[in-house]
């Protein structure tokens, strides 16, 4: 279900412009509007689901979440990050720092990351 007010659903419907790197029948990959690294993209399932816990509860959820990760790793390789490395982040819920309630993976790379994150 496409949630009318959700920013990623609005991007998926073409109501908000985005810089798309990749899309298939299940997923889109767009540049983050507020990048935190030289490469910072969001891997977003077309299906509106609140977060990774909700996604995993659905029929076929583990397979679909697995495909999201494999898409992210493939994009990382396509963008030349395989050798140097990259970071995948799934912010979940309020304490997790999630600000958009539509599951997405952050793929970041192109600089040295630090730990712990804020």
Task: Give residues in contact with ligand AMP (CB under 6 A).
Answer: 7, 16, 18, 30, 32-34, 42, 91, 97-100
Encode 18-41: b = buried (16+ Cβ within 10 Å), e = exposed. Answer: beebeeeeebbbbebeeeebebbb
99, interface contact from Zn ion, ligand AMP, none, CB < 5-8 Å by kind: ligand AMP
Of 40, 102, 104, 106, which one is the catalytic site residue?
104
Tokens of 6: 């959700």
Around Cβ 110, how many Cβ atoms within 10 Å?
A: 15
Work out whether 6 is an interface residue with Zn ion (CB under 5 A).
yes
Which of Zn ion, ligand AMP, none interacts with 32 (beta carbon under 5 to 8 A by kind)? Answer: ligand AMP
Tell me: does residue 104 bind Zn ion (CB under 5 A). no
- The encoded tokens of residue 44 equal 């977003």
Which residues form the catalytic set?
A: 104
């Amino acid at each position: 279900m496409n949630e009318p007010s959700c920013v990623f659903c609005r991007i998926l419907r073409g109501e908000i412009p985005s810089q798309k790197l990749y899309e298939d029948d299940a997923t889109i990959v767009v540049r983050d509007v507020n990048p935190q690294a030289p490469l910072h993209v969001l891997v977003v399932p077309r299906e509106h689901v609140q977060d990774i816990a909700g996604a995993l509860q659905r029929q076929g959820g583990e397979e679909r979440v697995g495909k999201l990760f494999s898409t992210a790793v493939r994009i990382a390789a396509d963008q030349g990050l395989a050798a140097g490395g990259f970071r995948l982040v799934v912010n979940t819920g309020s304490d997790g720092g999630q600000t958009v309630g539509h599951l997405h993976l952050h793929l970041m790379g192109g600089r040295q990351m630090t730990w712990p994150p804020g």
